């Protein structure tokens, strides 16, 4: 499967590396306005291929993306320390406007996978500018937040994070919602499981995990300037679900007709991802507080979207 990556910075390059190591693509093309950067990243990843799956990795212009099944958009300016994702909107919208027209001309059948922050709003912008149906314009959304949630649950309960079914909903950002009430360890509600093994989930534990998930990006950005390993792996996971027509349930962002009584928001829910993009979605069981929080997150995103003039 041919996959294009537009934006060869840290996130785009790490997505390419994860794709190469997992064999989720057979051909990976890195595109960037800085041709030397794209070439350097492609060569560096190609040198890792002998240790991973057989794949062709090269730098290219966007014109070479013809026939790509998925195009990852990781172009844009980086988040500054302390800057909210929504504050990035104005700076990154202009970048997308210049890119999407080119992609539409050379790869009109491709599924767009958006990684640029603020990812929910950038996914909304990409949907509107591309004219594609929402199921073919997928934001990475809360796939990374969900991974952080499961990782911290695993750390507290001393269980592999892959054993959890627990999701983060709404915005990939400050208003996101950790769906505690529907979280499961295997088939057991996570709170009941925690009691069984003598590691109860107290209010202090809830607060610590919530803070650990919600503030993770800010801490990482403060320490090293950006996040890239987690999101690179998340993007590769989405591509693998598309390429293999897995119909995997992943927390990703698309423009959503209605959620929690709010219309017109682009946000994350657990969604079924297959060859055609999004083929279905699930609404987890939520308590009243979580439902209100999801509605608030949806309203924030819908109101921001309504203000856009593109």
Positions annotated as catalytic residues are 172
DSSP run (H or E) holding 105: helix 89-106
Q: Of 107, 124, 103, 143, whose CA–CA distance to 11 is shortest? A: 143
Query: What letter does residue 139 receive in the DSSP assignment?
Result: E
Q: Of 271, 261, 253, whose CA–CA distance to 296 is shortest? A: 261
Cα separation, 124 vs 260, whole angstroms: 18
Rg (CA), the chain: 19
Q: What share of the chain is helix, strand, coil (3-state, %, to 5)?
A: 50, 20, 30
The single residue listed with the structure tokens 């509600």 is: 189
DSSP string for residues in 194-262: HHHTT----HHHHHHHHHHHHTHHHHHHHHHS---HHHHHHHHHHHHHHHTT--EEEEEEEEEEEETTE
């Amino acid at each position: 499967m041919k996959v294009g990556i537009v934006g060869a910075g840290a996130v785009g390059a790490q997505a390419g590396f994860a794709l190469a190591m997992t064999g989720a693509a057979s051909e990976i093309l890195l595109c960037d306005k800085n041709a030397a950067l794209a070439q350097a990243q492609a060569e560096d990843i190609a040198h890792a291929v002998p240790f991973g799956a057989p794949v062709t990795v090269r730098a290219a212009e966007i014109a070479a993306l013809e026939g790509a099944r998925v195009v990852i958009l990781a172009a844009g300016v980086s988040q500054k320390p302390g800057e909210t994702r929504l504050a990035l909107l104005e700076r990154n919208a202009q970048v997308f406007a210049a890119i999407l027209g080119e992609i539409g001309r050379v790869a009109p059948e491709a599924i767009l996978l958006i990684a640029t922050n603020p990812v929910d709003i950038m996914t909304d912008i990409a949907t509107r500018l591309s004219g594609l149906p929402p199921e073919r314009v997928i934001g990475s959304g809360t796939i990374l937040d969900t991974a952080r949630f499961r990782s911290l649950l695993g750390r507290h309960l001393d269980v592999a994070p892959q054993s959890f079914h627990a999701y983060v909903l709404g915005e990939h950002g400050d208003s996101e919602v950790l769906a505690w009430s529907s979280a499961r360890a295997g088939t057991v509600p996570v709170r009941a499981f925690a009691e069984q093994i003598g590691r109860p989930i107290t209010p202090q534990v809830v607060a610590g995990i919530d803070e650990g998930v919600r503030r993770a990006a800010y801490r990482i950005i403060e320490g090293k300037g950006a996040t890239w390993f987690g999101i690179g792996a998340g993007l590769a996971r989405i591509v693998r679900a598309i390429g293999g027509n897995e119909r995997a349930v992943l927390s990703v962002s698309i423009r959503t007709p209605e959620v929690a009584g709010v219309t017109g928001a682009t946000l994350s829910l657990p969604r079924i991802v297959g060859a055609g993009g999004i083929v279905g979605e699930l609404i987890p069981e939520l308590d009243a507080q979580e439902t209100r929080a999801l509605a608030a997150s949806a309203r924030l995103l819908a109101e921001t979207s309504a203000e856009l003039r593109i």
